[in-house]
Amino acid sequence: MPETSQLSINLATVRARYEIGEILDAVARHGIPAVAPWRDQIASIGLKETSKRIRDLGLKVSGVCRGGMFPAADKAAYEANLEDNVRAVEEAAELDAACLVLVVGGIPEGSRDLAGARRQVRDGIAWLEERASAAGVRLAIEPLHPMYCADRAVVNTMGHALDICEDVGGNVGVACDVYHVWWDPDLDAQIRRAGKAKLHAFHICDWLRDTRDLLLDRGMMGDGVIDIRGIREKVEAEGFDGFHEVEIFSRDDWWKRDIDEVLSTCIERHKSCC
Amino acid sequence: MPETSQLSINLATVRARYEIGEILDAVARHGIPAVAPWRDQIASIGLKETSKRIRDLGLKVSGVCRGGMFPAADKAAYEANLEDNVRAVEEAAELDAACLVLVVGGIPEGSRDLAGARRQVRDGIAWLEERASAAGVRLAIEPLHPMYCADRAVVNTMGHALDICEDVGGNVGVACDVYHVWWDPDLDAQIRRAGKAKLHAFHICDWLRDTRDLLLDRGMMGDGVIDIRGIREKVEAEGFDGFHEVEIFSRDDWWKRDIDEVLSTCIERHKSCC
């Protein structure tokens, strides 16, 4: 059974009703040791203030969400995307985050060039890797579920993400989110291929059988079909000893609830279902 | 450029406002040579009457939708599923269909045993193959998009479907639907692996960038992000010479339109975008 000392809360899980300061206080109050903030949440009070509050509360940072979003329709936009990723690396460094999560980006609006978008992603990660290494920041490519291939991420499997890791070298690994990868018949083999060295993050939530929205209807652990414990055991069999980060986008359910109820439930379900 | 002589209409594309008799008449009136009926549409007027009307209109049948839905929580339900598939084979035989499409089924309600569901699928297809071969019916496993893994199909890639084809042997192939497989970085390799012998069906529609519903928001060819022509050319490079079957579930758009508008648009977009 996992311990609460292994738990992290991705701040998207409670973002709808609460600002970052309240969330950090609540997480610490519940005895949860780590968080993963989003960049807009960091920006809302500033990087220095975020860093200070997290430090003062004794919290760890399991990841910063997010870098990536590389593909663009023209050179200027692509270069702007790269520059924005440098800012993300700086934020991850300042927060001493375990990794900067990369949601790599979809196909540029109006394009059907999936292969081209994938080339931009590969090249962008290779470019960023040097800067991240210099800043002591580990990059974590997060393969997103294939239903996000058009608009959010053209990297959709652990296998594809690991191909890029091997291609670009350096300290680039993967963020394994059970929501995105649970269906993949190749998952076990790719977790073994990743090994401890490339497993930079592990995210949990559940896939609801009657999912009603492509983006904002993720389930609490235990409410869906994913064998989270089975996947967690496989990741840990490789030596992964990072946090189990709960990331739930749930517009019509968990986002409407009180933060103490959400966090208590995360703690309880993490123990009973993961 | 593809010819209308290669076009087929999956009757789901116009199912919301029209019954099967009207649809068949309209398809023939537009000079489209083939259809793929669903079993509930066949049942609505009876198999014999469906067969007679299709024959009288000189239409071909590119596939019958659908067999499959194998996994079940208990033995009796599983065996009932198998028996229902025998009925589906009989219907495909009577209609001289190019194949019986198999949507293999999801995880039984209340279960998280994905591997178990996949075993039931494999065993069910092996069991059905003998009966299908005896009836002269080709089975076509349709890998569905991974977003349907929980509730509709635990086979989600061409690679996985072809693994099953090789495992069970006989005349089992795949239905390659661009909507389900366009995102897969392994697609080209799997089309080559399938070859003409295992490419039993080719389905077209489009993935809308701002898809609003997991099931009922497919796009008309040309309105989305899929390089349909590129995939069609790869399938045909393997020698596939079957129909290009248009299958669009579109509750809030195409299902609301007049059948003549829908069919004219299918003909036009098939030429210009496929």
Binned at pLDDT 50, 70 and 90, residue B266 comes out as very high
Q: Does the complex come out with an ipTM higher than 0.90? A: yes
Give rounded-to-5 percent helix, strand, coil for chain B: 50, 15, 35
**Which of B156, B185, B207 lies at the smallest CB-CB distance from A183?**
B156
Beta carbons of B150 and A184 less than 8 Å apart? no
Strand partners, A204: A246
Please write the tens of the pLDDT for every residue from A249-267. 999 999 999 999 999 999 9
User: A112 vs B225: CB contact, 8 Å cut-off?
Assistant: yes
Q: Does B1 score more than 90 pLDDT? A: no
One-character DSSP codes across A87-128:
HHHHHHHHTT-S-EEEE-B-PPTT---HHHHHHHHHHHHHHH
Tell me the residues of B at the A interface, defined by beta carbons under 8 Å apart.
Answer: 106-107, 109, 111-114, 118, 145-147, 149-151, 154, 156-157, 159-160, 182-185, 207-212, 214, 224-227
| In contact, B258 and B212? CB cutoff 8 Å | no
Per DSSP, the three-state class of B64 is strand
Domains of chain B: 4-273 (3.20.20.150)
Q: What is the pLDDT averaged over residues A101-123?
A: 98
Q: pTM of this prediction? A: 0.98
Q: What is the pLDDT of residue B199?
A: 98
What backbone phi and psi angles, to 5 degrees, belong to A190? -75, -30
Interval B52-110: pLDDT, tens: 999 999 999 999 999 999 999 999 999 999 999 999 999 999 999 999 999 999 999 99
- Number of Cβ within 10 Å of residue A236's Cβ equals 18
Three-state SS at A180: helix
Q: How far is residue B66's CA from residue A219's CA, in Å, rounded to a whole number? A: 30
- Cα B111 from Cα B55, distance rounded (Å): 44
Candidates A183, A207, A210, partner chain B, best to mutate (most B CBs within 10 A): A183
Q: What is the pLDDT of residues B156-209, one digit of tens each?
A: 999 999 999 999 999 999 999 999 999 999 999 999 999 999 999 999 999 999
Say whether pLDDT at B256 is over 90.
Answer: yes
Contact B150 A214 (CB under 8 A): no
Name the residue facing A227 among B112, B154, B209 (closest C-beta). Answer: B112
| pLDDT at residue B194, rounded to an integer | 98
Q: Taking the mean position of all CA atoms in its chain, how far away is CA B78?
A: 22
CA B101 to chain centre: 5
b/e map B26-56, b = 16+ CB within 10 Å: bbbebebbbbbbbbebbeeeeeeebbebbee
Whether the CB-CB separation of A48 and A55 falls below 8 Å is answered with no
> In this complex, which of A112, A210, A226 lies closest to B227 when CB atoms are compared?
A112
Decide if A203 contacts A179 (C-beta within 8 A).
yes
Q: Cα(A118)–Cα(A122) distance, rounded to whole angstroms?
A: 6
The H or E element containing residue B175 is strand B172-177
Task: Tell me if B196 sits within 8 A of B186, measured CB to CB.
Answer: no
A124 within 8 A of A163, measured Cβ to Cβ: no
